[in-house]
């Protein structure tokens, strides 16, 4: 526990203040998250309110180009939707999908990894075999398959509106293996240490030992994986959207915005894809930079 506090405390902060890249990335990520969080308050337009869209406003260029309209700072898309507002709302969905799916993967992966590493034996064999099977398929393929199955189970009538959760489940379930493997490996090491033996001696229950003693000591690598996975989840969501199984254009994520905007790249209406693309890349990039920095900062050997 102490180590965790120490890591998250002074050392990390110190390292952070000495890393301009991480600081810029954190600012960008934080800014985008704020925009996403408060999208309904700060966006000039609600892109989900169909009544507020006017087809005659479609495809206006950004405001600084000729033909631009002051209402559409970054231009408008083919339905007369304000690109800036669409980005805010899209980021909201992208960040939501990514947070929820990584959280899901974390919960599943960490618990299974802990259980496998702590108890060993048959439990471990089953969990690790399952992980092997899943590793047999790349995450994107797994997500594609789970997505297909979820849609089929829900039936066409009920998919509308639940695409968000279908995505969360398919991405979340395809990411858990990494956590399970890391946590299991660390747990294997930790469980033979004296403090665990001591805790067991004083009669602490297995879950208690796992969560209060072992878990904090394996959190470092998990945190790094989770951060990098956040970025990966954003990209995966975009890719699934590209393959046509993401969110519908009436409820676009950043990935969906890029996919639909992509159709207008050759026709000269570059802003429809450019700005959402930049937002998507900026978000993924800043999260990646933070993850990178976190990995270096938490790796004592590199200091």
What are the residues binding another protein (CB under 8 A)? 49-51, 53-56, 58-59, 78-80, 129, 132-133, 135-141, 144-145, 148-149, 152-153, 156-157, 159-161, 231, 235, 238-239, 242-244, 248-250, 255, 258, 262-269, 277, 280-281, 284-285, 288-289, 292, 301-302
User: Measured from the CB of residue 108, what is the shortest distance to another protein in angstroms?
Assistant: 17
Report phi then psi at 82, rounded to 5: -70, 125
User: Measured from the CB of residue 73, what is the shortest distance to another protein in angstroms?
Assistant: 20
Which residue lies nearer to another protein by CB, 110 or 245?
245
State how far the Cα of 264 lies from the Cα of 242, in Å rounded to an integer: 15
User: Measured from the CB of residue 119, what is the shortest distance to another protein in angstroms?
Assistant: 16
Which residue lies nearer to another protein by CB, 49 or 194?
49
Which residue lies nearer to another protein by CB, 186 or 286?
286
Scanning the chain, the segments in alpha helix (DSSP H) are: 2-6, 12-17, 20-37, 39-42, 83-119, 121-135, 139-154, 156-159, 163-190, 194-201, 206-208, 215-242, 254-262, 271-298
Across the strands, what pairs with 82?
Answer: 76
What does the buried/exposed string (b/e) look like for 20-51 if buried means 16 or more CB atoms within 10 Å of the residue's CB? Answer: eebeebbebbeebbebbeebeeebebbbeeee
What is the number of other CB atoms lying within 10 angstroms of the CB of residue 270?
16
Which residue lies nearer to another protein by CB, 160 or 198?
160
Task: Check: CB of residue 139 under 8 Å from CB of residue 66.
Answer: no
User: Measured from the CB of residue 282, what is the shortest distance to another protein in angstroms?
Assistant: 8
User: Measured from the CB of residue 243, what is the shortest distance to another protein in angstroms?
Assistant: 7
Neighbouring residues of 48: CB distance < 8 A, sequence distance ≥ 6:
89, 250, 251
Neighbouring residues of 202: CB distance < 8 A, sequence distance ≥ 6:
none
User: Measured from the CB of residue 161, what is the shortest distance to another protein in angstroms?
Assistant: 8
Task: Check: CB of residue 128 under 8 Å from CB of residue 62.
Answer: no
Which residue lies nearer to another protein by CB, 44 or 207?
44
User: Measured from the CB of residue 285, what is the shortest distance to another protein in angstroms?
Assistant: 4
State how far the Cα of 267 lies from the Cα of 168, in Å rounded to an integer: 34
Which residue lies nearer to another protein by CB, 10 or 299?
299
Task: Check: CB of residue 77 under 8 Å from CB of residue 86.
Answer: yes
Scanning 191-270, the segments in alpha helix (DSSP H) are: 194-201, 206-208, 215-242, 254-262
Residue 280 tokens read as 């998507």
User: Measured from the CB of residue 128, what is the shortest distance to another protein in angstroms?
Assistant: 10
Which residue lies nearer to another protein by CB, 119 or 211?
119
Which residue lies nearer to another protein by CB, 54 or 198?
54
Neighbouring residues of 217: CB distance < 8 A, sequence distance ≥ 6:
3, 4, 186, 190
């Amino acid at each position: 526990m102490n180590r965790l506090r120490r890591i998250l405390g002074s050392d990390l902060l110190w390292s952070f203040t000495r890393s301009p890249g991480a600081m810029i990335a954190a600012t960008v990520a934080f800014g985008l998250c704020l925009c996403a969080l408060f999208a309904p308050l700060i966006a000039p337009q609600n892109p989900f309110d169909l009544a507020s869209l006017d087809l005659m406003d479609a495809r206006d260029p950004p405001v600084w180009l000729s033909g631009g309209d002051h209402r559409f700072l970054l231009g408008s898309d083919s339905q007369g939707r304000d690109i800036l507002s669409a980005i805010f709302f899209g980021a909201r969905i992208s960040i939501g999908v990514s947070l929820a799916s990584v959280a899901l993967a974390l919960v599943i992966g960490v618990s299974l990894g802990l259980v496998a590493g702590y108890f060993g034996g048959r439990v471990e064999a089953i969990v690790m075999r399952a992980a092997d099977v899943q590793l047999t398929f790349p995450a994107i393929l797994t997500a594609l398959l789970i997505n297909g199955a979820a849609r089929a189970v829900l039936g066409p009538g009920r998919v509308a509106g639940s695409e968000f959760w279908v995505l969360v489940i398919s991405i979340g379930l395809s990411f858990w293996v990494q956590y399970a493997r890391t946590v299991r490996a660390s747990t294997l090491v930790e469980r033979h240490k004296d403090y665990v033996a001591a805790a067991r001696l004083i009669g602490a229950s297995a879950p208690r030992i796992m969560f209060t003693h072992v878990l904090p000591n394996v959190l470092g690598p998990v945190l790094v994986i989770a951060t990098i996975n956040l970025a990966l989840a954003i990209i995966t969501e975009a890719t699934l959207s590209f393959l046509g199984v993401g969110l519908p254009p009436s409820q676009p994520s950043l990935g969906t915005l890029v996919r639909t905007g992509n159709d207008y790249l050759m026709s000269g209406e570059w802003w429809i894809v450019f700005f959402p693309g930049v937002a998507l890349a900026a978000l993924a990039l800043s999260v990646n930079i933070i993850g990178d920095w976190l990995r270096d900062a938490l790796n004592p050997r590199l200091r």
